[in-house]
Amino acid sequence: MSREYVLDGEHEFVTKVKELTAGGVSPDRIRTFTPVPVHGLEEMLRRRPSLLKFFTLFGGLTGCATGYGFAIYTVYRWAFETSEVQWPWGLVTGGKPPLSIPAYTVIGFELTILFGALCSVLGFLLLSRMPKFMAFVPEKEYGNRFAIVVEDEERK
Amino acid sequence: MSEVATLPSESRAAKEVQARDQVDRDILIAMKKPGPLYWVAVCACFGFFVLGMAMFGNMVDKGFGLTGVSHPYNWSIYIVDFVFWVGIAHSGTLISAILLLFRAKFRNRFNRQAEAMTCISVLCAGMYPILHLGRPWFNFFLFPYPTERQLWINFRSPLTWDVFAVSTYLIVSMIFFYVGMIPDLAIARQYATGLRKKIYGILSLGWRGTDREWKHYEKVCLFLAALAAPLVVSVHSVVSWDFAMSLLPGWHATIFAPYFVAGAIFSGCGMVLTLVIPMRKIFRLEKYITIDHFDKLCKLIMFTSMIVGYAYLMEVALANYGTNPFEKALFDHRMGGHYRIAFWMMVFCNCIAPLTLWVKKLRHSIPWLFVLSILINIGMWLERYVIVVTSLSNDFDPYNWGYYVPTIYDFGLTIMNFGFFFGMFLLFCRFLPMMAIMEVKEEVK
């Protein structure tokens, strides 16, 4: 049988969470619903830090490599694909060096940001298990109150 | 089966809940059924847009000769409008991302409106390069793919950078706008009924405010802000390089990137004032957006206005100090030639009028701020006009010079997107939470 506590104030909520964890309730059995983020809650519930940073890092690095790689590939693609043409042969346009790193930096930079942002959002959705297809409109909402639900079993 | 224990709460805590409920109701008031005046305003705005599109259709049919665009000022009105709207977009990301990183609290009263403004104005900006093509159905030529002769687009071209920068900006600012709104959409869902409840439910992705959701949400907002902050600087720098990478006098200057970025933020803050002042009055948000919040925004406007003023002065000073006769001749022409009225109006609106903000009384006068915001919008539009048109009209060879005279089509295609912008903003106020409710509630203790 799960227990549910609904509190009005943030202060009361924090006190109750501390009381529960001090009283021997495993933090993994506690779920909270709050109208605003409560700072320090993660530590109180001994949650692991968010893994989101790795998604952002992965996206940023992939974007950077894609941006530079793509721009460089387009000028050297004949050298890549034709065995008769020797490296470093590139398509010269406008009399500029084929490997124009400063110019390609803009492309590399923009794609770093783009892929980084997309991966961050994807990571956010995956980690926070959204969208909740089965419950877009939850059965019960606590509005502007703070709720603590102590479940029977530990959550995964 | 669950056991519910509602604990006896103190009266202070009960008041906290009431205060938070009040914030919800006050901000969501705009989502109630609007009066006929609202729909008249929406129709009028989109009316201008439709009129502009009809003019555009006629222009595609008959040719570019209907507009004032011709040799040598081939860019004129379209690129003026493009840069103007990209500039307007910038303050949205500045207010939401850079000020978030700086922990400037006043941002949470403006960030939602500014982010909406960003998304809409990037859409407005994106239309102009396509309209300017003349054959807009070939706009896919801009995208990176090889031709049938296996030649790719030129990645050294600033115009290609522009495609990457502006489309990245559009996508990232939309993501930022949407992710920031998820908890507020859940609040809207709570108060809505029927079909609207379902729609807000889908839009809020089933947000419930669990500790897991908040943990990742706070992180994603921070990371998106950290990614968007350099993006703001880069996008308008890239737009400025559209000019600065050429060899034309008046364009070929290293100062262009910082000058454009500061100008963009300046114009965007002006537009935020133009939109927020009437909104605050109509929806009675005086309690949430106070004079103090405006005061802080005004300081940002003063700061960027002075950077812009410095850049104007420096451009002229370097042209006169340097040894390039073309550069000097161009600036003489800008200040005293055909386009001198535009130039001096620009200086008045962007550098002199904002100086009034040094006076606290004027900084706290809402009517004056509204007038000033309109002056800033005009001034920043003129700045782009002066940069684009004067340099193209008077380049190196006097035989090649011209004098740009806009026609009714130029005006129509410019006003068109003002209609689109204000119309979309009105729709935003009606259908989405117009202020960051969750962030305002965080301050309720």
Q: Is position B21 within any domain? A: no
Q: How far apart are CA B328 and CA B341, in angstroms?
A: 19
Same domain, A63 and A117: yes
Interface contact A12-B13, CB threshold 8 A = yes
- On whether the CB atoms of residues B113 and B434 are closer than 8 A, the answer is yes
B48-98 pLDDT tens trace = 999 999 999 999 999 888 988 888 888 888 999 999 999 999 878 888 888
Percent of chain A with pLDDT over 70: 89
What single-letter DSSP state applies at residue A113?
A: H
Same domain, A60 and A105: yes
The shortest CB-CB distance from A128 to any of B13, B175, B217 is to: B217
Q: Is position A133 within any domain? A: no
Contact residues on chain B for A10, CB-CB shorter than 8 A: 16, 445
pLDDT given for residue B51 in this prediction: 95
Q: Is position B25 within any domain? A: no
Same domain, A22 and A62: no
The shortest CB-CB distance from B210 to any of A7, A16, A33 is to: A33
Strand-pair category, A146-150 with A2-7 = antiparallel
Same domain, A109 and A143: no
Q: Which residues contact B197 (CB under 8 A, 6 or more apart)?
A: A137, B189
Q: Supply B380's token pair.
A: 């920043």
Same domain, A14 and A65: no
**Does the pLDDT of residue A47 top 80, yes or no?**
yes
User: Least CA distance to B14: which residue of chain A?
Assistant: A8
Q: Is position B74 within any domain? A: yes
- On whether the CB atoms of residues B235 and B94 are closer than 8 A, the answer is no
User: Least CA distance to B179: which residue of chain A?
Assistant: A121
Q: How far apart are CA A104 and CA A106, in angstroms?
A: 5
Q: Is position B179 within any domain? A: yes
Dihedral sign of CA atoms A60, A64, A65, A71 in order: positive
Give this complex's ipTM. 0.91
Helix (H, G, I), strand (E, B) or coil at A5: strand
Q: Is position A155 within any domain? A: no
Q: Is position A28 within any domain? A: yes
Chosen from B162, B200, B202, B223 to mutate, greatest number of chain A CBs within 10 A: B223
Same domain, A78 and A56: yes
Helix (H, G, I), strand (E, B) or coil at A149: strand
Between residues B4 and B230, which one has the greater pLDDT?
B230
Q: How far apart are CA B14 and CA A149, in angstroms?
A: 20
Q: Is position A22 within any domain? A: yes
The shortest CB-CB distance from A117 to any of B9, B17, B172 is to: B172
Q: Supply B260's token pair.
A: 């454009």
**Does the pLDDT of residue A156 top 60, yes or no?**
no
**Does the pLDDT of residue B5 top 60, yes or no?**
no
Q: How far apart are CA B101 and CA B126, in angstroms?
A: 28
Q: What is the mean pLDDT of chain B?
A: 89
Q: E strands of A61-155, at which residues?
A: 146-150
Helix axes B291-321, B256-282, angle to 10 degrees: 160
Q: How far apart are CA B414 and CA B403, in angstroms?
A: 19
Same domain, A95 and A146: no
B324-368 pLDDT tens trace = 899 999 999 999 988 999 999 999 999 999 999 999 999 999 999
Q: Give the range with max mean pLDDT: A128-142, B29-43, B282-296, B406-420.
A: B406-420
Mean pLDDT (whole number) for B195-214: 90
pLDDT given for residue B2 in this prediction: 45
Percentages of chain A per state (helix, strand, coil), in multiples of 5: 50, 10, 40
pLDDT given for residue B123 in this prediction: 93
pLDDT given for residue B173 in this prediction: 92
Domain CATH code at residue B170: 1.20.1630.10
Q: Which amino acid is at B25?
A: R
Q: Is position B6 within any domain? A: no
pLDDT given for residue B1 in this prediction: 39
**Does the pLDDT of residue B108 top 60, yes or no?**
yes
Structure confidence at residue B426 as a pLDDT band (50, 70, 90): very high
The shortest CB-CB distance from A106 to any of B153, B164, B208 is to: B164
pLDDT given for residue B421 in this prediction: 94
Domain extent, residue A83, equals 52-127
Q: Is position B11 within any domain? A: no
Interface contact A131-B206, CB threshold 8 A = yes
pLDDT given for residue A85 in this prediction: 57
- On whether the CB atoms of residues A107 and B155 are closer than 8 A, the answer is yes
Percent of chain B with pLDDT over 70: 98
Best CA proximity match to B404, nearest among B71, B84, B131, B134: B71
Residues 79-138 of A with CB under 8 A from B: 91, 93-94, 96, 100, 103-104, 106-107, 109-111, 113-114, 116-118, 120-121, 123-125, 127-133, 135-138
pLDDT given for residue B301 in this prediction: 92
Q: Which residues contact B14 (CB under 8 A, 6 or more apart)?
A: A8
Same domain, A45 and A76: no
Q: Is position B12 within any domain? A: no
Q: Is position B22 within any domain? A: no
User: How many other C-beta atoms are found inside a 10 Å radius of the C-beta of residue A26?
Assistant: 15
Best CA proximity match to B83, nearest among B392, B417, B384: B384
Domain extent, residue B308, equals 34-141+152-442
Q: Is position A132 within any domain? A: no
Q: How far is A103 from chain B (nearest CA, A)?
A: 5
Same domain, A123 and A143: no
Percent of chain B with pLDDT over 90: 51
**Does the pLDDT of residue B208 top 80, yes or no?**
yes
Lowest mean pLDDT across A38-47, B120-129, B277-286, B342-351: A38-47
Q: How far apart are CA B232 and CA B188, in angstroms?
A: 30
Q: How far apart are CA A47 and CA B133, in angstroms?
A: 55
Number of domains chain A contains:
2
**Does the pLDDT of residue B145 top 90, yes or no?**
no
Please count the residues of chain B.
445
Q: Which residues contact B54 (CB under 8 A, 6 or more apart)?
A: none
Same domain, A88 and A103: yes
Same domain, A63 and A115: yes
Between residues A54 and B68, which one has the greater pLDDT?
A54
Largest CA distance in chain A: 76
Between residues A9 and B366, which one has the greater pLDDT?
B366
Same domain, A56 and A45: no
User: How many other C-beta atoms are found inside a 10 Å radius of the C-beta of residue A71?
Assistant: 28
Number of domains chain B contains:
1
Q: Is position A134 within any domain? A: no
Interface contact B7-A91, CB threshold 8 A = no
Q: What are phi and psi of B285, to 5 degrees?
A: -100, 20
